[in-house]
């Protein structure tokens, strides 16, 4: 059990005997362990060299055990530090190895996946191995995973993986799709909607992705899906950038207390704002300060800021500049 501290099985046995008795000589250790006198003497000397035992004044020579916390914990810490350094070195070597192989062998970058069952297994594995974030393009008419069948998402969300999912609007016409989104958002998924998505896509931790190579038929069609598993590469970076571009323009989806999804019917021509909100927004985009807006509208400055924060939430914006862009795109003014 103490191999991690650098002890052999025999050394551990002798050390445990010393722990259980005030002092012991080589003869006594030999009698209790079946070792020869010379073997017992050698083991005791080794323990003394490692700081796990020390000699006493008794004759013949006796040994006593050093306290385990003093003798073993520092050794374990040193070994743990050395293991961390070795692990970091192996990670660097692995990355260098992969980089070299990628330049020489395209198979290190792209793996072809054929068939719905194989695709399901790879999507499951992709999510099981994710540690930080999953990015998804969800198109209508599932190919490999019916709505509600992706239990790997709930498991990943539970361990802290962030999910950002883009749904094209036709997705919500599929059976069970709305209930699936309600459950996923309730579990922690961040969802948005766009009119149309160019392809299906799943990206894990920005280092590995699955996307179609050729269009596949919906589930039940005779055309089996053919997809690619992409590892860290310029192509993967391009797909991740494509996701972020669509995400920026998408409409945030919200789940009400009654379990309904809102946001899917927003359109650039819609103007779901009250007259007060539109007036405030026009002043804000014109560059008027919060204080001046409050004065012109007869509101307190805090109320103005509260209105602006609400508008940012509705638009899915994190800055006022993004709010202005979204307001123009959606025809709110």
Q: Please write the tens of the pLDDT for every residue from 136-148.
A: 999 887 777 776 7
Does some domain include residue 296?
yes
Tokens 């006593």 map to which residue?
64
- Residues 168 and 282 occupy one common structural domain: no
Assess contact for 264 and 195: CB atoms under 8 A: no
The number of folded domains in the chain is: 4
Q: Which residue has the higher pLDDT, 230 or 4?
A: 230
- Residues 181 and 250 occupy one common structural domain: yes
Looking at 94-98, 126-130, 189-193, which range is the least confident one? Answer: 94-98
Tokens 């609007």 map to which residue?
169
- Residues 127 and 235 occupy one common structural domain: yes
90: domain range?
Answer: 73-106
Tokens of 233: 């590469």
CA distances from 245 to 14, 239, 249, 251, 294 (A): 66, 10, 7, 13, 34
Domain termination residue (choose one: 71, 97, 129):
71
Mean pLDDT of all residues in 206-228: 77
Question: What is this structure's pTM?
Answer: 0.51
- Residues 144 and 204 occupy one common structural domain: yes
Euclidean distance between CA atoms 247 and 319, whole angstroms: 15
Using the predicted structure, report yes or no on whether residue 220 has a pLDDT greater than 90.
no
- Residues 158 and 197 occupy one common structural domain: yes
- Residues 152 and 229 occupy one common structural domain: yes
Does some domain include residue 270?
no
Does some domain include residue 269?
no
- Residues 21 and 43 occupy one common structural domain: yes
CATH of the domain at 220: 3.30.870.10
Assess contact for 30 and 40: CB atoms under 8 A: yes
CA distances from 130 to 113, 152, 155, 180, 331 (A): 19, 10, 11, 21, 38
Mean pLDDT of all residues in 63-92: 82
Domain termination residue (choose one: 238, 262, 286):
262
Q: Which residues pair with 214 in a beta bridge?
A: 226
Assess contact for 236 and 208: CB atoms under 8 A: yes
- Residues 253 and 302 occupy one common structural domain: no
- Residues 130 and 205 occupy one common structural domain: yes
Does some domain include residue 192?
yes
Judged by DSSP in three states, 182 sits in helix
Closest C-alpha to 13, from 49, 54, 52, 51: 52
189 burial (CB, 10 Å; 0-12 / 13-18 / 19+) is: buried
Domain termination residue (choose one: 81, 106, 131):
106
CATH of the domain at 10: 1.10.10.10
- Residues 126 and 91 occupy one common structural domain: no
Does some domain include residue 267?
no
Using the predicted structure, report yes or no on whether residue 106 has a pLDDT greater than 60.
no
Tell me whether strands 190-194 and 201-204 are parallel, antiparallel or unpaired: unpaired
Report pLDDT digits (tens) over 108-158.
Answer: 578 888 888 899 999 999 999 999 999 999 988 777 777 677 899 999 999
Does some domain include residue 64?
yes
- Residues 286 and 316 occupy one common structural domain: yes
Report pLDDT digits (tens) over 276-320.
Answer: 888 888 888 777 888 888 888 889 999 999 889 888 888 878 888
- Residues 132 and 233 occupy one common structural domain: yes
Does some domain include residue 18?
yes
Does some domain include residue 268?
no
Mean pLDDT of all residues in 165-179: 83
């Amino acid at each position: 059990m103490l191999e991690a501290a650098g002890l052999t099985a025999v050394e551990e046995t002798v050390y445990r005997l010393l722990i259980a008795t005030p002092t012991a000589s080589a003869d006594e250790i030999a009698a209790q362990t079946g070792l020869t006198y010379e073997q017992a003497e050698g083991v005791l000397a080794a323990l003394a060299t490692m700081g796990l035992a020390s000699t006493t004044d008794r004759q013949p020579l006796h040994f006593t055990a050093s306290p385990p916390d003093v003798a073993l914990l520092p050794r374990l810490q040193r070994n743990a530090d050395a293991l961390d350094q070795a692990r970091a070195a192996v990670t660097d070597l692995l990355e260098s190895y992969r980089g070299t192989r990628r330049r020489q062998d395209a198979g290190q970058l792209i793996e072809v996946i054929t068939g719905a069952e194989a695709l399901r297994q790879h999507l499951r594995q992709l999510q099981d191995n994710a540690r930080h974030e999953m990015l998804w393009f969800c198109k209508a008419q599932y190919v490999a995973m019916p709505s509600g069948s992706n239990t790997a998402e709930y498991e990943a969300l539970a361990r802290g993986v962030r999910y950002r999912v883009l749904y094209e609007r036709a997705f919500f016409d599929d059976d069970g799709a709305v209930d699936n989104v309600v459950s996923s958002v309730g579990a922690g998924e961040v969802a948005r909607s766009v009119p149309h998505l160019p392809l299906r896509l799943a990206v894990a931790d920005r280092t590995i992705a699955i996307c179609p190579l050729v269009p596949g038929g919906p589930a039940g069609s005779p055309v089996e899906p053919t997809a690619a598993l992409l590892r860290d590469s310029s192509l993967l970076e391009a797909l991740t950038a494509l996701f972020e571009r669509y995400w920026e323009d998408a409409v945030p989806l919200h789940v009400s207390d009654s379990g309904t999804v809102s946001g899917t019917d927003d359109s650039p021509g819609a103007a779901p704002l009250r007259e007060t909100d539109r007036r405030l927004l026009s002043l804000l985009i014109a560059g008027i300060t919060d204080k001046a807006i409050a004065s012109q509208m007869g509101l307190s400055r805090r109320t103005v800021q509260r209105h602006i924060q609400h508008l940012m939430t509705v638009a899915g914006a994190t800055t006022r500049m993004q709010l202005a862009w979204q307001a123009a795109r959606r025809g709110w003014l």
